């Protein structure tokens, strides 16, 4: 079929033509935005899900809603080893500058400007000030405790925004890369804003372990945030995600072809897009048939292995790869951590460092104590293709 009009969108954060099966999440984000707009409290959200389920796409969709609703928005992708606060400062300054035309806000802007300047100075961040906050205000956001100072700085910016009848929404993608104190600082900001009726919402997205990270950072996090799970799609939504884009180009699928793709992709959004894309290229005419799907399969598996799975596999050391292979032996998961160790032929304590390293690499995660799961869907099948033979753990000899 014509490649120029191929309607599928495999990628990272690439908006699909049909955003299927996420109406509930979008509705509750919409409600939170509207509540804050009308002076009520709204619940911030942490979108949780494995790689490729559509978190970034959703976050961007909510971001657009917030912009349409005239929110001041800040969007940050948490850098893997970077500094969240350094990225926030220019965004906050931009908001203050936008408010600076309003003479009646002079006092609030002065305080907020001073808070930004003090915060930057105490945490040695680069910051170019402006007319507001030029006169020193000692004691604002400069205790040296990150969480206290960040939330205090936010309080002054939010107070200025509120005086101008404006709201602020902060969007952070890849939340699992934030440092614990950064996640705690955001949580305290949400808490503080709720208590003081300040117009603030936070929308985060990341791997499922962030629910626990947020709870570890602040025990009240679970009452403060909604944690919508972004997972594989229902059959109905997956069907829509696959057929919808093609129908816009007047192309249909045979039912059996759709069923086969849903089965192979396990209804995961990214895999559905890759399947749609490959089958489109393969098929000669409408309707797309089971034969087209089968013909596309070989190339598609190679494509996924090389582009999606192997980049992650290559980041791991051989001992870590062996651990992943043992998990794959047990199936998609989650698995009892002890059982993985037995599969490797050793005690859990002998591989606990490897497990911890894989967690920090974002390859695996643990929802419950004693359990381990992949963060990438279908990774078990890839591991078996990549390392057909299961190898036992060989303890390193002490020198």
Ligand X SMILES: Nc1ncnc2c1ncn2[C@@H]1O[C@H](COP(=O)(O)OP(=O)(O)OP(=O)(O)O)[C@@H](O)[C@H]1O
Q: Which residues bind ligand X (CB under 6 A)?
A: 9-14, 16, 19-22, 49, 51-57, 241, 269-270, 273
CA-CA-CA-CA torsion for 315, 317, 318, 324, nearest 10 degrees?
-60
Mention every residue, 6+ apart, whose C-beta is less than 8 A from residue 397. Answer: none
Q: How far is the CB of 47 from ligand X (least distance, A)?
A: 8
Phi-psi sector, 107: left (phi>0), alpha (psi -120 to 50), beta: alpha
| Partner interacting with residue 299 (select from Mg ion, ligand X, none; CB below 5-8 Å by kind) | none
Cα separation, 155 vs 149, in Å, equals: 10
Q: How far is the CB of 160 from Mg ion (least distance, A)?
A: 32
Q: Using DSSP, state whether 14 is helix, strand or coil.
A: coil
Nearest to 50 by CA among 235, 186, 303, 233: 233
Residue nearest to Mg ion (CB): 56
Instruction: Say which DSSP state 253 is in.
Output: B
Q: Toward ligand X, which CB reaches closer, 19 or 328? A: 19
Q: How far is the CB of 354 from Mg ion (least distance, A)?
A: 26
Which one of the spans 50-58, 195-203, 327-335, 378-386 is the region binding Mg ion (CB under 5 A)? 50-58
| Partner interacting with residue 112 (select from Mg ion, ligand X, none; CB below 5-8 Å by kind) | none
Question: Which residue among 56, 151, 282, 337 contacts Mg ion (CB under 5 A)?
Answer: 56
Phi-psi sector, 361: left (phi>0), alpha (psi -120 to 50), beta: alpha
Q: How far is the CB of 50 from ligand X (least distance, A)?
A: 7
Q: Toward ligand X, which CB reaches closer, 11 or 287? A: 11
| Partner interacting with residue 245 (select from ligand X, Mg ion, none; CB below 5-8 Å by kind) | none
Q: How far is the CB of 78 from ligand X (least distance, A)?
A: 11
Residue nearest to ligand X (CB): 54
Q: Specify burial of residue 331 (Cβ count, 10 A radius: 0-12, 13-18, 19+).
A: exposed
Q: Toward ligand X, which CB reaches closer, 78 or 184? A: 78
Q: How far is the CB of 50 from Mg ion (least distance, A)?
A: 10
Q: Rule CB under 5 A: is residue 375 a binding residue for Mg ion?
A: no
| Partner interacting with residue 276 (select from ligand X, Mg ion, none; CB below 5-8 Å by kind) | none
Which one of the spans 55-63, 101-109, 116-124, 390-398 is the region binding Mg ion (CB under 5 A)? 55-63
Tell me the two tokens of residue 398: 């002490």
| Partner interacting with residue 273 (select from ligand X, Mg ion, none; CB below 5-8 Å by kind) | ligand X
| Partner interacting with residue 57 (select from Mg ion, ligand X, none; CB below 5-8 Å by kind) | ligand X
Cα separation, 85 vs 126, in Å, equals: 10
CA-CA-CA-CA torsion for 298, 301, 302, 304, nearest 10 degrees?
150
Instruction: Say which DSSP state 320 is in.
Output: H
Phi, psi of 137, deg, nearest 5? -120, 100
Q: CA 92: distance to chain centroid? A: 22
Q: Rule CB under 5 A: is residue 209 a binding residue for Mg ion?
A: no
- Where on the chain is the footprint of Mg ion (CB under 5 A)? 56
């Amino acid at each position: 079929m014509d490649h120029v009009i191929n309607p599928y969108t495999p990628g990272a954060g690439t908006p699909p033509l049909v955003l299927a099966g996420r109406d509930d999440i979008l509705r509750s984000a919409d409600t939170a935005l509207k509540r804050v707009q009308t002076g009520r409290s709204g619940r911030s959200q942490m979108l949780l899900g494995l790689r490729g389920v559509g978190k970034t796409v959703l976050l961007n969709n909510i971001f657009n809603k917030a912009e349409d609703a005239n929110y001041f928005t800040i969007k940050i992708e948490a850098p893997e080893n970077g500094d969240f606060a350094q990225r926030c400062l220019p965004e906050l300054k931009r908001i203050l500058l936008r408010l600076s035309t309003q003479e009646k806000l002079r006092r609030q802007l002065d305080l907020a400007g001073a808070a930004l300047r003090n915060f930057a100075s105490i945490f040695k961040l680069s910051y170019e000030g402006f007319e507001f906050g030029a006169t020193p205000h000692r004691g604002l956001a400069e205790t040296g405790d990150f969480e206290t100072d960040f939330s205090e700085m936010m309080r002054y910016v939010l107070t200025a925004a509120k005086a101008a009848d404006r709201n602020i929404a902060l969007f952070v993608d890849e939340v699992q890369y934030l440092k614990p104190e950064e996640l705690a600082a955001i949580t305290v900001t949400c808490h503080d804003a709720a208590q003081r009726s300040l117009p603030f919402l936070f929308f985060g997205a990341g791997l499922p372990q962030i629910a626990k990270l947020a709870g570890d950072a602040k025990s009240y996090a679970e009452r403060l945030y909604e944690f919508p799970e972004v997972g594989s799609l229902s059959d109905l939504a997956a069907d829509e995600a696959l057929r919808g884009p093609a129908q816009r180009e007047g192309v249909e699928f045979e039912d059996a072809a759709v069923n086969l793709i849903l089965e192979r992709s396990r209804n995961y959004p990214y895999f559905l897009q890759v399947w749609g894309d490959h089958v489109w290229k393969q098929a000669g005419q409408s309707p797309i048939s089971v034969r087209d799907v089968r013909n596309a399969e070989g190339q598609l598996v190679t494509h996924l292995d090389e582009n999606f799975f192997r980049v992650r596999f290559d980041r791991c050391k051989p001992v870590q790869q062996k651990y992943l292979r043992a998990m794959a032996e047990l199936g998609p998961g989650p698995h009892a951590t002890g059982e993985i160790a037995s599969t490797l032929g050793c005690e859990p304590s002998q591989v606990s460092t490897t497990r911890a390293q894989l967690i920090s690499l974002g390859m695996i995660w643990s929802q419950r104590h004693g359990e381990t799961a992949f963060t990438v869907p279908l990774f078990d099948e890839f591991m078996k293709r990549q390392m057909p033979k299961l190898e036992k753990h060989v303890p390193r000899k002490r020198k």
